Amino acid sequence: MNKSVLSILLPVAVLLVVYFLWDGAVLLSNTDIFPRPYQVFLGIGELIQRGVLLKYVVASLFRVSIGFTLAVLIGVPFGLLLGWFRPAFLAFNPLIQILRPISPIAWIPIAILWFHVDDRAPIFLIFLSSLFPITVTSIAAVQNIQPVYVRAAQNFGLTRLDLFRRVIFPACLPQIITSLRISLGIAWLVVVAAEMIAVNSGLGYLIIDARNAGKRYDLVVAGMLMIGLIGLILDLLIRRLERFEEVKWGYFGGR
Amino acid sequence: MSSAKGVGLAVVLWLVVISFLHATLNLGVFAPHKSTAEAAFRVGFLPVTCHLTCPVTDFINKQLSGESGFEPIRFQAWPELKEAFISGYLPATFILAPLAMRMREDGVPIKIVYLGHRDGTAMVVHKDSQIFHIEDLRGKTIAVPNRFSNQKLLVVKALKDHGVQPDEVKILEMAPPDMPAALFSKAVDAITSGEPYMGQAELDGYGRVLYQTKDVWPNFISCVLAVREDVIRNHRETVQKLVDGIAKSGKWLDQTMDHRMEAADFVSQYYYNQNPRLLRFVLSKPPDRVKYTNLALRKNDFLEIEALAKETGVLKGKVTFEDYADPSFVPPNNSLQPYAWEYQK
């Protein structure tokens, strides 16, 4: 069997096994609470029929897109700056290291007090969740540049701006893109928690709402499934960035 | 760097498209009519029967005059609702009575202006359990909605009335929507919160009612209507309109069983997103499970709550009825008639 057939057959086989294990476990335990897989698919059907699934997916994607973009726009330049100017790094690094380990969920009360309960609060939480991984990787990327690149460039008489634009930034790009991929994953992870605030749309809200609605665990699992599938699609999309010529060298032993 | 330009363009395009979709589908920014005459007066609520008068007032107002004057904002849990009130986002909210009193103690400018309901809480145990009397709760685990909930004080009162010391049971906090599943899986021995979550455990066949509020603490108050002090100063008429609306919709709800069943239908559909069967059940079986009349603020009711709250450490006892309540909005007895309105499906 050739590789491409295997790469489809194997995952499908695993998914089928999981499907039947799940179904069997629900049947065997005779539980009244946990849904069977087909009930989850019916639940997804119901959400589509009610016209809320598209709305909720759009709401979650909107918040993640805005929060994540803000984090990139601020985190990358800030990280590069700190990586390049040692005094700035010394000044800001302790603060970053203190803020970094705080879970975005811990920020929920603050987010409500500052931004009330409209879209800004979840966007803020998603922004925070992505900002620190991006900043820290950007710092490390500059600090880890091989000194020979910089010296060679200086021997060619590059100005500071050119040095930054033509040597440092391209050299850091592969690591930055990897960090974007990881932090987009985190941002999508956080969207559920962020939407537990009283916003009235989004996949996270769908899960909370289904809990409020009584025995609708089929919709809870439907929400989980949608989050997983969209997370997969997002990851596939951002991985395309790694294929560009400008960054390919970073992955295939170009140094 | 043509690929960089391509990526940049794609990102910008994506942001524009997703923002446009979100604005259209969820925010209704491009919807044709949007009354911007006056900023909406937000009222916070949770999807529980203790807060039923909030959506009912909104719905009937809209049906009668096309405009509610209020914007009910649904929350999922107490902490978020409390924070939204403290931050000033909500000028008014339905809230647990002891929580409102405690917030006053902590310096939040909150005033209780009216009740939301009376009764409407049960304690439910698993149908297979050996708990048949309140005394049988010794050594068991009981889930309550919040440490500042009157449900917790109710548990303490019930236990003490039956000679059980509160430290002989384990009381833990749990979000009410999670309670039926916790009881089903026997993670806890007993659950108590506002409806419809208790009714759900009963309706689904694994819960058995140990007590209703009327058995332990008749005319029990779980939630009250509270507003910010600056709102009382600056928007007296709006607060009065809200209190009158709640009084009228409460009377409407208690007028006939048909009204209650109609409310169960439109509130399930438009506000709570719950199964109408569930609300129909808790609003009718038995009919005095929860009541929406007799909602005036009575000092003695609150003194009773205060005493229990001080005993259990929920309140420090720094504030009095005059600090946390403002009964001046309570309509004079029988001066208001129920809403004259019938539901047309």
Summarised one tens digit per residue, pLDDT across range B30-62 is 665 544 445 678 899 988 888 888 888 888 888
What is the four-CA torsion angle of A61, A65, A66, A70, rounded to 10 degrees? 160
The token duo for A3 is 């590789």
Q: Cα separation of A91 and B160, whole Å?
A: 59
Which pLDDT tens digit goes with each residue over B113-170?
998 888 888 899 988 888 888 888 888 889 988 888 888 888 888 888 888 888 888 8
To the nearest whole percent, how much of chain A has pLDDT over 70? Answer: 94
How many helical (H) and strand (E) elements, i.e. helices and strands, does chain B have? Answer: 14, 12
Q: In the predicted model, what is the mean pLDDT of chain B?
A: 85
Could you tell me the two tokens for B23?
A: 């604005």
Partners of B175 on chain A (C-beta within 8 Å) are 211
d(C-alpha B71, C-alpha B74), whole Å: 10
Q: Which two tokens stand for residue B72?
A: 């009910």
Supply the pLDDT for residue A254.
42
Q: What is the mean pLDDT of residues A45-64?
A: 91
- Give CA–CA dist B137/B131, Å, rounded: 6
Establish whether the linkage from the previous residue to A94 is cis, with ω within 30° of 0: no
Instruction: Look at A209 and B273 and tell me if their CB atoms are within 8 Å.
Output: yes
Contacts of B3 in chain A (CB under 8 A): 244-246
Cβ pair A112:B84 closer than 8 A: yes
Q: Angle at Cα B173 formed by Cα B170 and Cα B177, nearest 5°?
A: 125
Residue A255 has pLDDT above 80, yes or no: no
Residue of chain B with shortest Cα separation from A243: B3
Position A230 scores a pLDDT of: 93
Res. A135 pLDDT band, cuts 50 70 90? very high
The pTM for the full model equals 0.75
Beta bridge partners of B71: B42
- Ordered by start, the domain boundaries in chain A are 38-250
B335 versus A210: the higher-pLDDT residue is A210
Please list every residue in chain B whose beta carbon sits closer than 8 Å to the beta carbon of residue A62.
18-19, 21-22, 26
B177 and A211 within 8 Å at the Cβ level: the answer is yes
Q: What is the pLDDT of residues B226-245, one digit of tens each?
A: 999 988 888 888 888 888 88
Of B26, B73, B83, the CB nearest to A113: B83
Q: What does the pLDDT average to over A86-113?
A: 89
The span from the CA of B235 to the CA of B242, in Å, is: 11
User: Per CATH, is A38-250 categorized as 1.10.30.50?
Assistant: no
Cβ neighbours of residue A237 closer than 8 Å, sequence gap 6 or more: none
- Using CA atoms, how far apart are residues A97 and A93, in angstroms rounded to an integer? 6
Do A200 and B74 count as a contact with CB atoms less than 8 A apart?
A: yes
CB of A55 within 8 Å of a chain B CB? The answer is yes
Tally Cβ neighbours within 10 Å of residue B311: 15
CA–chain centroid gap for A124, Å, is: 14
What is d(CA B23, CA B129) in angstroms, rounded to the nearest whole number? 51
pLDDT confidence of B345, banded at 50, 70, 90?
low
Predicted pLDDT at B2: 64
* A253 pLDDT more than 60: no
The amino acid present at A129, given as its one-letter code, is S
Is B4's Cβ below 8 Å from some Cβ in A? yes
B196 touches chain A (CB under 8 A): yes
Mutate to test the interface with A, among B13, B22, B81, B185 (most CBs of A within 10 A): B22
The count of C-alpha atoms lying within 13 angstroms of the C-alpha of A190, restricted to the half-sphere facing its C-beta, is: 30
